[in-house]
């Protein structure tokens, strides 16, 4: 019997799970309160990496997903990843060296570069760093087109995308989620996947299991399209910036964007001027707009991926590193939902770690 899986959330994570499930033969329905593509996905800087700040198990999961992105490009040709590499020096020198030693020992393709080499990699830098780290295998993707490409490919395999359609509640009966209540009535399924990003907390609030989630805001600015200024991703102490496929320069105070407080427009204009000053031809850039996205952040920093142990029929997929992890989460979730196989790389990511507390 074909399993019917209902996915709440049409961002990059929900889209990847939908495509992998549909390709494996499941009946798939995707719901989203807004337009297909999701909210956090639209407002992502979209850096594909296994960079600093995470323990080794999380690094291994991210590295596996970087390889999965290359497979996904072949399977869904509409997805285009820019594997242009990342140049990073946004840490104090001792931490930069420690990061290089640690991740180099783990097998990450990281190398130290001096001022002359940094200037060769990114000739537009007005003040290249004396020491930076370069990872040629890192990349970026245009997040909304990538999510839309996955959804279109899933539709081609028989999936149904229902959006906008707000999910009001999960219907639980005798310890099992049997349906979802939507703005247009109830929908039943064999299994429900919550890939709703920052909206996950609201959906799980009425259940016996409610994982700790935060959703800090992140400010990103965009220039108007411009001729090519940057070759890859640049992570400096003052901002992170990349140039999109359409020529816009997209920047935040870090890779997730910064909290603008109550004055987003003023903060955006200041960040834009910082970006202009960073580049030799920066004065030619014109301001376009800013966005403020809300990033889903599990309480302990690890993704939450897996079945909820106390509630049958409910699968969670929520994380901050959604762009990097999307391909591997889709692949692993489809295997677990349909065949019961859970990849060992997901061991630290199980929802049961919160249920136990």
For the stretch 323-333, pLDDT in tens is: 999 999 999 99
| DSSP label at residue 352 | H
Phi-psi domain of 175 (left: phi exceeds 0; alpha: psi -120 through 50; beta: other)? left
The pLDDT of residue 207 is 82
Fold classification of 86-136+216-294 is D-Amino Acid Oxidase; Chain A, domain 2 (3.30.9)
The pLDDT of residue 20 is 98
CA atoms within 13 A on the CB side of 24: 21
Cα gap 236→251, rounded to integer Å: 11
pLDDT above 90 (res 8): yes
Cα gap 218→240, rounded to integer Å: 13
Phi-psi domain of 53 (left: phi exceeds 0; alpha: psi -120 through 50; beta: other)? left
SS (H, E, C) 1-43: CCCEEEEECCCHHHHHHHHHHHHCCCEEEEECCCCCCCHHHHC
User: Which residue intervals of the chain bear CATH 3.50.50.60?
Assistant: 4-46+144-212+298-355
Cα gap 89→110, rounded to integer Å: 12
Cα gap 236→223, rounded to integer Å: 18
By CB atoms closer than 10 A (0-12, 13-18, 19+), residue 266 is exposed
315-327 mean pLDDT: 95
CATH classification code of 4-46+144-212+298-355: 3.50.50.60
Residue whose tokens read 């497979």: 71
211-230 mean pLDDT: 92
The pLDDT of residue 131 is 97
User: pLDDT tens digits, residue range 70-94?
Assistant: 999 999 999 999 999 999 999 999 9
pLDDT above 60 (res 258): no
Mean pLDDT, rounded, of the chain: 93
The pLDDT of residue 138 is 98
Cis peptide before 351 (omega within 30 of 0): no
Strands 176-182 and 110-114: unpaired
CA angle 271, 275, 280 (to 5 degrees): 160
The pLDDT of residue 41 is 87
User: Which residue intervals of the chain bear CATH 3.30.9.10?
Assistant: 86-136+216-294
Across-strand partners of 140?
47, 82
Using a cut of 0.85, tell me whether the model's pTM lies above it: yes
pLDDT above 90 (res 222): yes
The pLDDT of residue 356 is 55
The pLDDT of residue 11 is 95
The pLDDT of residue 244 is 97
Across-strand partners of 31?
8, 162
14-31 mean pLDDT: 98
CA angle 267, 271, 277 (to 5 degrees): 150
User: pLDDT tens digits, residue range 285-309?
Assistant: 999 999 988 888 898 889 999 999 9
User: pLDDT tens digits, residue range 145-192?
Assistant: 999 999 999 999 999 999 899 999 999 888 899 889 998 999 999 999
The pLDDT of residue 357 is 46
């Amino acid at each position: 019997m074909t399993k019917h899986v209902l996915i709440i959330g049409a961002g990059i994570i929900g889209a990847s799970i939908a495509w992998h499930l549909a390709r494996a033969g499941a009946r798939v329905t995707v719901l989203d309160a807004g337009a297909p593509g999701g909210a956090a996905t639209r407002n992502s800087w979209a850096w594909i990496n296994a960079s600093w700040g995470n323990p080794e198990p999380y690094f291994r999961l991210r590295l596996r997903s970087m390889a999965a992105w290359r497979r996904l490009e072949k399977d869904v040709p509409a997805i285009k990843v820019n594997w242009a590499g990342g140049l990073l020096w946004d840490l104090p020198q001792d931490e930069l060296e420690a990061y290089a030693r640690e991740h180099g020992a783990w097998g990450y393709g990281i190398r130290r570069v001096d001022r002359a080499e940094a200037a060769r990699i990114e000739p537009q830098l007005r003040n290249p760093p004396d020491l930076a780290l370069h990872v040629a295998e890192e990349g970026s993707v245009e997040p909304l087109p990538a999510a839309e490409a996955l959804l279109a490919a899933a539709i081609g395999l028989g999936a149904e995308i229902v959006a906008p359609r707000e999910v009001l509640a999960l219907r639980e009966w005798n310890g099992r989620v049997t349906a979802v209540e939507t703005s247009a009535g109830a929908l039943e399924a064999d299994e429900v996947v919550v890939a709703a990003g920052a909206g996950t907390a609201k959906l799980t609030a009425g259940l016996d299991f409610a994982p700790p989630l935060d959703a800090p805001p992140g400010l990103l600015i965009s220039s108007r399209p411009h001729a090519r200024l940057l070759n890859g991703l640049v992570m400096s102490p003052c901002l992170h910036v990349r140039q999109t496929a359409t020529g816009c320069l997209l920047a935040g105070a870090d890779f997730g964007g910064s909290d603008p407080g109550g004055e987003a427009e003023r903060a955006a204009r200041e960040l834009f001027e910082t970006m202009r000053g960073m580049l030799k031809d920066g004065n030619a850039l014109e301001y376009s707009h800013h966005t403020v996205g809300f990033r889903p952040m599990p309480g302990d920093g690890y993704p939450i991926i897996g079945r909820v142990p106390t509630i049958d029929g409910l699968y969670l997929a929520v994380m901050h590193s959604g762009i990097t992890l999307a391909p591997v989460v889709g692949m692993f979730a489809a295997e677990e939902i349909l065949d019961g196989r859970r990849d060992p790389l997901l061991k630290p990511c199980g929802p049961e770690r919160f249920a136990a507390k």
